[in-house]
């Protein structure tokens, strides 16, 4: 099995084990709910290696849609920032198409939209992406897929939704999350004065303690 295939398998299967191992008191604190990775995680490693989904190497035009900046922090449940962890996101373009061979949506794909990006958190656990405001995909409310990779742990996977979006109420995956936890999956897109971005939003990932911290490195 290739490295990328192992990563994809961890994305599909991972994300919940750390929460299950938490003491009761810690599990009752405000952790970001995990969700499924979905079917459109890249099947091969993308050639682009950046956090700007609105540009494609070799093309001069920017992606269609409402250009937005998404930023926030990755931290453990006690507020400790997680530095140097990889954050990945992927989303459909302004036409509702994913850059993925399994997407059978008939709308034309936007050739200027990268669709997938990654970054690494700084010393304060901060990350930033340039994206488009999420749009509906057939059968789904607007959303962004996200994965956080900590060394030695399964990836934490979730989906980020748009605050105030009326389609959220009818989205099957969003409704799987208990209603009182819905605010933890919402990003509020607000207008911003910026030469490029039209909107800005923030989203923090609050994670359970690392399995490495709890039990030592795998195989130790």
97-133 pLDDT per residue, tens: 998 988 988 999 999 999 999 999 999 999 999 999 9
At residue 212, the pLDDT reads: 53
Closest CA to 144 of 208, 101, 84, 88: 88
Residue 29: band (very low, low, confident or very high) from pLDDT cuts 50, 70, 90: low
Q: Which CATH class is domain 3-210?
A: mainly beta
Non-local (6+) Cβ contacts of 104 within 8 A are none
Query: How many angstroms separate the CA atoms of 3 and 43, rounded?
Result: 11
Q: How far is CA 177 from the centre of its chain?
A: 16
Tokens of 180: 């009182």
The dihedral built from the CA positions of residue 209, 129, 59 and 100, taken in this order, carries a sign that is: positive
Give the pLDDT confidence score for residue 47 in this predicted structure. Answer: 73
Given its phi and psi angles, is residue 93 left (phi above 0), alpha (psi -120 to 50 degrees) or beta? beta
Span 45-67, pLDDT tens digits: 677 779 999 999 889 999 999 99
In contact, 72 and 81? CB cutoff 8 Å = no
Evaluate if residue 11 carries a pLDDT over 90.
no
| Structure confidence at residue 151 (pLDDT) | 87
C-alpha angle 122/206/143, rounded to 5°? Answer: 95
């Amino acid at each position: 099995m290739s490295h990328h295939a192992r990563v994809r398998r961890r994305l599909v299967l991972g994300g919940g084990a750390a929460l299950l191992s938490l003491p009761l008191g810690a599990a009752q604190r405000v952790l970001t709910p995990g969700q499924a990775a979905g079917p459109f995680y890249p099947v091969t490693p993308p050639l682009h290696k950046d956090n700007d989904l609105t540009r494609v190497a070799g093309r001069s035009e920017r992606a269609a849609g409402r250009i937005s900046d998404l930023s926030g922090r990755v931290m453990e449940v006690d507020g400790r920032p997680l530095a140097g962890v990889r954050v990945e996101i992927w989303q459909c373009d302004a036409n509702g198409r994913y850059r993925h061979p399994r997407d059978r949506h008939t709308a034309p794909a936007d050739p200027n939209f990268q669709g997938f990006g990654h970054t690494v958190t700084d010393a304060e656990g901060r990350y930033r992406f340039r994206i488009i405001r999420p749009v509906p995909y057939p059968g789904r409310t607007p959303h962004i897929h996200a994965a956080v990779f900590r060394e030695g742990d399964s990836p934490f996977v979730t989906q980020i939704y748009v605050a105030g979006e009326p389609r959220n109420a009818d989205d099957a995956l969003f409704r799987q999350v208990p209603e009182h936890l819905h605010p933890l999956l919402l990003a509020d897109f607000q207008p911003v004065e910026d030469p490029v971005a039209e909107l800005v939003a923030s989203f923090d990932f609050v994670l359970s303690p690392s399995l490495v911290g709890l039990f030592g490195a795998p195989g130790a």
